[in-house]
Every structure is written in structure tokens, then in C-alpha cells.
Amino acid sequence: MSQQNQYQLEPDSEDVIQVAEFLSFIDRIESILKEISDISKNAKYNIEICETLKKRVFDANLTTAIDFKNKDQEFFNKQNYYYLQNLVLVIRKIKNFIVDVSQVRTLPQSKSIEKTLCREFENCLISLNLLNMIKIIKPLDDEKKHDKEKQLKAAKKSFEEFDDDMNKLQDGILAMVLQIDKLNEKTNIASNEPTQLLKFSDFNETSRKCGRVAKWVDVKNKCREFAFKDISEIIGSVQKQVTILKKLHDCQNIIKFYGITYDGNKWYSVTEWAEYGNLREFYTNHKHLFDTRLKLRISLDIARGLNFLNRLGIVHRDIRAENILVTINETAKLVNFQLCRILRAATFTSREFNRIKSLERVRYCAPELLLETPYLEYDDKCEVYSFGILLWEIIEEKIPYKDCRNTVMIANLMYEEYREPFSENNAIPEKFKNLSLDAVSPNPKSRPEITKMFEILCDCFESFEKSSRTPTH
């Protein structure tokens, strides 16, 4: 990562950023604008849409509007640095959309996407206080031109509407639960429904602990092992997880949830015990076990769990090594459903995302989620991206973007469309490597579906098993 040394911003630093780092944005913007111009000029289809978007960004006259020479020193802070990063991302998204729409005769919802991109573009200009400096920004179709105050008022209204939607989320979960119950009855799926409230005296504590989780055993059968986690501080919000986890009990690659219990002082969640801890702990502490076959099988385990969620219309929203546990029989299981949502309600407000955004999460975060917009739409393509990063980590046994000290450095690498490379001379199938690279494409539309990833990983594992059994002569 030779590019990293130039970024010196600390995670919580409020220091002024060097002007030279801001100047690099001008070069990036000019480069993308030139690409947009060339692509539009050679467009085969949807020429009107291409020209409209091209005119939209060129009318903004960005290189003149962003005149750093006339900016006060106060302008060169971390917040405006983020805003400029977002502006570059949005312009790049516009370029990618023009590439797509110029090569196909019909593109589903192209007009809707066009309007969304233009709104994102104008939001970036508002954030940087550039809108009032730009003389010409013509309305798209019959949309009225709004001034800055009206747009901010509309954004506030969107937040309020989103809060109303979130209040209805529990009703949506319950409706999904009823649908799954009916499906189980029709297909005679055997299901051992976990008891929600467990008797505390039925368990004995052991001396084994793993982070915030302690190992307990059944009083009557010490071979039955459980993970106890103190949830006293979040007991009021744990019901959503409980509702979903009870319905995921039958998937072999999702950690089993048995219920909650109370010792008279604290509340605990009771789940399946994973002897080897999380995936990163496993490959760090048990390298001798983590051979090519197991890497392929664990990758397949995770894909199977994600595919199961996908069929139910659920997104996990926090796929990373710490949220994959490895059991005593070396089976990988998804855990930590604190952020999971039904797909249609998976939107983040920027405030919510910034609250949970950490360096560890951003290592696996899709670049479109780093945009500073009123709300961030998390869909299955974001989940695919996180899984793609995780596949690289499984093969390389390294932390993604390990040398990056803060989220800004990771974001900058994403702007350059840098992705962690695979090391040479490993035994991993090329099909696997290509799948991982496709999953972390900067263009969400180019990423594969979860179902397709599951099929390819299944084929990789089966092919490896077959070749291993074939005798050599």
C-alpha cells in the first residue's frame, strides 16, 4: 500500500488538513469529468440521458467553484475533506451510470436512478456551500429548483418519515415471522422452538471465557455447552434480535439461540458455544488447522448462512471476521444480529451509521455507504461487498487494510479503486479469487448475487475435494 503514507489524519483529529491534500481533489474531478465527456460523446444508446447528466455536472463548473486560493484556512478541515470525498464518489457514480446506460438500449428504472444521482450531486454541493456560487443548475425534467433552505427542510422531513418507518419495523418482523411459521407448517420442517426465558439454575458456570462471553454447561449433562453473554444494558432493545434469531434456529451456519435467562441481578443471552472463538482468533491461534480445504469449507459455511438470510429477505449489515464464530467441529456460524434488518427496511440514517461506524466496520464497508447523505441505502450488494473482503481475509489470514490507521485512509484507497491483492503461489482456485474480486467491485451492479456466490463456492469446495481424492500416478 504505497499510497498510504501521504495520509496523516488521525481518527479523532480536529487538526487542519494540508492544502496540498485538498488540491488532489481537483485533479480527480477533472479526470472523471473528461471521462464523462468522452463516454457521452461515444454513447450508442440513451444519448439524451447521457447528455443531461453530463450537462448537470459540467454546468456546476466545479474546478472554478472549488477555488482553494480564495478559501480561508478554516475551510481546510476534516469535515470539508469528507464532503469533497463524497463529491468525488458521486461524480464517479454518475460516470459509472453513464457507462452502463450508454451501452444498453433499455435499463430498468434509468430515469429514477438519474434523478437520484442528480439529487446526490446537489446534496454534495450544498454540503460544501457551493450551490449559491454556481450560476447554472437547470432542473431535471419538470422538477422545481429548490433553494438551500428548502432542500434542508426536505431532508429534515425525510428523517422524520424514516423514524416513522423504523417504528413500524417491529410489525414487519412479526408479519415475516407469521409467514415463516405458515411455511414451516406446509413443508413439515421439524423445528425445536427455543424457550425464550430459561431457568438460570439449570446451568453451571465454567472457568472458560472468551471476551464478553462465558462458557456455561447444562447441570444434568455437562457435554451440553452454552455461551452466556451479559445483555443487561441492552435488554430493552434485544427483543428484535430474539424475534429474528428464533426463526433462524434451523440453519446450521447461524449460531443457535436458545433464549435468555436472569440470575436475579443480570440478564444473559444463551446461545450455542463456539470453542474456537471468532474467525480471526481461529486463524491466528490455530494456523496448523487452517489449511486450504478448511478455508474453502468455512467460506462455503458463511455463504450458506448468508444465502439462508437472503431467502428470508434479511440482511445482517455487519459481516466481518469478529462476527463469524468457529465451533469445535470447525464449522463457521454467523453471529451478532444486533444490526440485522428486513431488506426493505435496511436503510441507515447518516446519524445512525456515524454512530456505529468504526475502523473495524469500515474495513468491510461498501464504498457507497461512506457517502455523507441524509440516509444510506443498505442492500444485498453491500452485504456481498463485505463478504468479498472477508473471503480475501480467509485466504490471506490478514486483517484487511491493516496498515490503515483510520477510516479516512481506507476511504481514500477506495477512491483509487484499490483492493487488497492475493499473494502468489497459493493453492486457492482462480474461480475463488475472481469471485472475491467481483464481490468488491466499486460498481454495485457488477457484484454477484449472494446465491451465485454460494453456488460458486460450493463448486470450488467440491472440485477441491474431488481432486484431493484422485490418486496421483
How high is the pLDDT of residue 373? 60
State whether residue 313 is helix, strand or coil: coil
Per-residue pLDDT band for 301 (boundaries 50, 70, 90) equals very high
Is pLDDT of 341 > 90?
Answer: no
Is pLDDT of 169 > 70?
Answer: no
For 328, counting Cβ atoms within 10 Å of its Cβ (0-12 exposed, 13-18 middle, 19+ buried), the class is exposed
How high is the pLDDT of residue 161? 47
Q: Which CATH superfamily is domain 191-272 in?
A: Phosphorylase Kinase; domain 1 (3.30.200.20)
How high is the pLDDT of residue 183? 44
CA distances from 199 to 26, 202, 232, 261, 292 (A): 64, 6, 16, 6, 42
Q: pLDDT tens across 99-150, in order? A: 878 777 666 566 777 777 888 888 777 777 765 444 433 444 444 444 445 5
- Highest mean pLDDT out of 82-86, 173-177, 284-288: 284-288
Q: pLDDT tens across 385-407, in order? A: 999 999 999 999 999 999 888 88
Is pLDDT of 326 > 90?
Answer: yes
Instruction: Summarize the confidence of residues 346-361 as an average pLDDT.
Output: 64
For 171, counting Cβ atoms within 10 Å of its Cβ (0-12 exposed, 13-18 middle, 19+ buried), the class is exposed
| Per-residue cell: 289 | 488447522
User: Of residues 71 and 349, which shows the higher confidence score?
Assistant: 71
Per-residue pLDDT band for 67 (boundaries 50, 70, 90) equals low
Q: What percent of the chain has pLDDT over 90?
A: 28
Cβ atoms of 330 and 295 within 8 Å: the answer is no
How high is the pLDDT of residue 322? 93
CA-based diameter of the chain, in Å?
78
How high is the pLDDT of residue 347? 55
Is pLDDT of 330 > 90?
Answer: yes
State whether residue 210 is helix, strand or coil: strand
Is pLDDT of 6 > 50?
Answer: no
Q: What percent of the chain has pLDDT over 70?
A: 69
> Which residue ranges make up each domain of the chain?
13-145, 191-272, 279-468
Name the residues annotated as catalytic. Answer: 318
Query: What phi-psi label fits residue 46: left (phi over 0), alpha (psi between -120 and 50 degrees) or beta?
Result: left
Instruction: Please state whether the predicted TM-score (pTM) of the whole model is above 0.85.
Output: no
How high is the pLDDT of residue 390? 97
State whether residue 161 is helix, strand or coil: helix
Please tell us whether the domain made up of 279-468 is placed in CATH 1.10.10.10: no
